[in-house]
Structure 1
Amino acid sequence: MRRNLLLCVDAFGTLFRPRSPIAEQYGMVARGMGVKISDDEVAKSFRSAFKETSKAYPNYGKATDMGARQWWTEVITKTFQPHHQGSLPSDLTPNLINRFWSKEGYTAFPDVLSYLQKLSAQPSRLASSSPRLVVGVITNSDDRVPDVLSSLGLRVNHLRHGSKVEKEAGQEQEDIDFCIMSYDVGCEKPDNKIFDAATSLLSSILDSEGSVYRKEDWELLYVGDEVKKDAQGAIDAGWDAVIVDRGGEKDMAYEGDAPGVEGFMDVGGKKVPILKNFEALGTYGGHYLLASE
């Protein structure tokens, strides 16, 4: 019997990446406003500011009710103030925050938009479909990921960890059904809890549709670009895992045996496929629900 599939993907480094190194973008914006600082100085100061702010206000400020935008204001101020006499330009912080909340700071990998948009048109995405395909995001991030993805051209549902799920009649099918962010959950991958948050939200979605989540009826598949946080975390949580090759070093134990499959890694006793791109998801392992054509 064919089973339903919950497909979840990582965001940073898997779906999108910075348009150019973050220190370069920070430096360019700051110099354009009169702050004299090199990219190397930005990189060094940013690392220190990020570490200091993370220690004082964990989880992007969520733990102290600061909020992510104010948290980033702290990081930006601590990054540039040591290199500038007097007050920083008033537009510097909001400019940088807005830049990295949108496509101005990030770009999607070439294979992402077309594949996810084609998946959203598949009959299996409909609530009435059997078997069913649901697509989500699980990422270590603050709460800006849905805005970044929307800015890049994807249709993203507002649902996230902690959301109240209500049935919405006649709603257009989104490319992303929900986003699970460490900011909301309070822990990061590879912690099992962040993966459990995804299946919990799936259960709530099905409840709103008059259905029931039964673990035995669903395959759980996670796609990322890192071995420890993504593949190992997913496997430890009881999911299957796939690595999309975004240029990092991969210790392949076996060669590929299907179109788009570069090879396999041994992770936690499981063979984890390393795929050339998202299109290969539809050709490996019998996950027929992921075929986009």
Structure 2
Amino acid sequence: MVIRRVLLDAFGTVFSPREPVFRQYVAVARSYGLQVKEDEVKDAFKQAFKKWAKLHPLYGKHSSPPLDSSQWWSGVIGDTFRQAGVLAADFEPVERELCDTLVRRFWGKEGYELHDDCVPFLRALHSDLAFPPPAIVSNTDTAVFKILDSLEVTAATFEPSEAGIKQDKIWTTWELEKEKRSVEFWEEVLRRLREMTKEAGEAELSPSEVLVVGDEFESDYEAPRKAGLRSLLLRRTTTNGEHARASYQDDERNLRSEDAVASLMDVVEFIKRENEGVRKR
């Protein structure tokens, strides 16, 4: 069947940190006069993130009382520096302002940068394939829209606006209350896509007509396939974005070479080949 819809991962696929997250934490901390070491902050961040994800899953959505994105990340930031050995006497006077600075930094282009292939991909999807903009599927909280808007790829900021990512087509684990590595996440995404195509007067959408593209083997490649969707694993050869996550160390023994792409523009060519092949049958 032809491909009719594209779903894109966000972190590591559309955008990545300008510098490794721990390095940005260190730079901001030092600007507040704190003495910190990169390796200690790197290890402490991993521990703090795991702790908060366990104590307050879904970014604190159902905690008592519920936490918003800023509160959850401020907790991670605070624990990161405490575990990295920063003394309370040094940290407490600057904690609130430092946490706020880092939270806001990672809400936009100061902390993240857009991958070079994203803008031409969105335009090619619109002009060459006559596709609607891709929906975003992200293992994050609601702050992902702020990031995309800051990076100027939403319908309100992109040119042409019709090719920009729409806010009502950004689906996160926070909203769906399911992890991307679960089949249930992708089944819910498919249900929403089907509702939208039905409202648009289109034919019912088959799972095999949906293509997922992302950089995490388990969440973006394997899990969608278990739900019947198609998927491609993004493996850029450039250094840009390599520090987004450690997914390049995933067990990829079940990955077929033809299911890996080095650029989002390769995805456009893949869709052209697949759809042309179907039409010739």
Fold match (TM-score > 0.5): yes
| CA RMSD after TM alignment | 2.7
Matched, 1:195 2:168: no
Query: 2:219 is paired with a residue of what secondary structure?
Result: helix
Q: Once the 2 structures are TM-superposed, how far is the Cα of residue 99 of structure 1 from its aligned partner? A: 0.6
Q: Once the 2 structures are TM-superposed, how far is the Cα of residue 123 of structure 1 from its aligned partner? A: 7.1
As a proportion of its length, which structure holds more strand?
Answer: 1
- Corresponding letter in the other structure for 1:281: V
For 1:74, the equivalent position in structure 2 comes to 75
Query: 1:173 is paired with a residue of what secondary structure?
Result: helix
* Conserved? CA contact 2:7–2:211, under 8 Å: yes
- Corresponding letter in the other structure for 1:138: V
- Corresponding letter in the other structure for 2:181: P
**Kindly tell me: are residues 287 and 145 of structure 1, through their superposed partners in 2, closer, same or farther at Cα, counting changes over 3 Å?**
farther
Taking the aligned partners of 1:123 and 1:273, their CA distance within structure 2 comes to 20
**Kindly tell me: are residues 250 and 196 of structure 1, through their superposed partners in 2, closer, same or farther at Cα, counting changes over 3 Å?**
closer
* Conserved? CA contact 1:266–1:272, under 8 Å: no
Alpha-carbon displacement from aligned partner over 1:137-188 (angstroms, at most 9, x marks no partner) = 112111111211121120258xxxxxxxxxxxxx952422411111111121
For 2:123, the equivalent position in structure 1 comes to 117
Taking the aligned partners of 2:144 and 2:128, their CA distance within structure 1 comes to 24
Matched, 1:105 2:95: no
* Conserved? CA contact 2:232–2:260, under 8 Å: yes
Tell me the percent identity. 26
Taking the aligned partners of 1:4 and 1:48, their CA distance within structure 2 comes to 41
**TM-score normalised according to structure 1 size:** 0.77
Taking the aligned partners of 1:229 and 1:187, their CA distance within structure 2 comes to 12
Q: Once the 2 structures are TM-superposed, how far is the Cα of residue 282 of structure 1 from its aligned partner? A: 2.5
For 1:165, the equivalent position in structure 2 comes to none
**Kindly tell me: are residues 237 and 70 of structure 1, through their superposed partners in 2, closer, same or farther at Cα, counting changes over 3 Å?**
same
Alpha-carbon displacement from aligned partner over 1:35-59 (angstroms, at most 9, x marks no partner) = 1111122112212221222221112
Matched, 1:229 2:219: yes
Taking the aligned partners of 2:155 and 2:38, their CA distance within structure 1 comes to 34
- Corresponding letter in the other structure for 2:11: F
Taking the aligned partners of 1:280 and 1:91, their CA distance within structure 2 comes to 43
Query: 2:193 is paired with a residue of what secondary structure?
Result: helix
- Corresponding letter in the other structure for 1:225: D
For 1:206, the equivalent position in structure 2 comes to 197
For 2:233, the equivalent position in structure 1 comes to 243
For 1:83, the equivalent position in structure 2 comes to 86
Which has the higher mean CA deviation after the structures are superposed, 23-32 or 241-250?
241-250
- Corresponding letter in the other structure for 1:85: A
For 1:147, the equivalent position in structure 2 comes to 146
**Kindly tell me: are residues 106 and 218 of structure 1, through their superposed partners in 2, closer, same or farther at Cα, counting changes over 3 Å?**
same
For 1:168, the equivalent position in structure 2 comes to none
Taking the aligned partners of 2:187 and 2:37, their CA distance within structure 1 comes to 43
**Kindly tell me: are residues 88 and 188 of structure 1, through their superposed partners in 2, closer, same or farther at Cα, counting changes over 3 Å?**
farther
For 2:43, the equivalent position in structure 1 comes to 44
For 1:164, the equivalent position in structure 2 comes to none
The number of residue pairs the alignment matches comes to: 253
Structure 2: unaligned runs, 5 residues or longer: 238-247, 277-281
Between the two structures, name the one with larger relative contact order (CA 8 Å, sep ≥ 6).
Answer: 2
- Corresponding letter in the other structure for 1:59: L
* Conserved? CA contact 1:10–1:138, under 8 Å: yes
Matched, 1:96 2:96: no
Alpha-carbon displacement from aligned partner over 1:96-118 (angstroms, at most 9, x marks no partner) = 00111111111122111221133
* Conserved? CA contact 1:14–1:246, under 8 Å: no
* Conserved? CA contact 1:192–1:234, under 8 Å: yes
For 2:174, the equivalent position in structure 1 comes to 183
Structure 1: unaligned runs, 5 residues or longer: 126-132, 158-170, 253-264
Q: Once the 2 structures are TM-superposed, how far is the Cα of residue 121 of structure 1 from its aligned partner? A: 4.0
**Kindly tell me: are residues 283 and 59 of structure 1, through their superposed partners in 2, closer, same or farther at Cα, counting changes over 3 Å?**
same
Query: 2:39 is paired with a residue of what secondary structure?
Result: helix
As a proportion of its length, which structure holds more helix?
Answer: 2
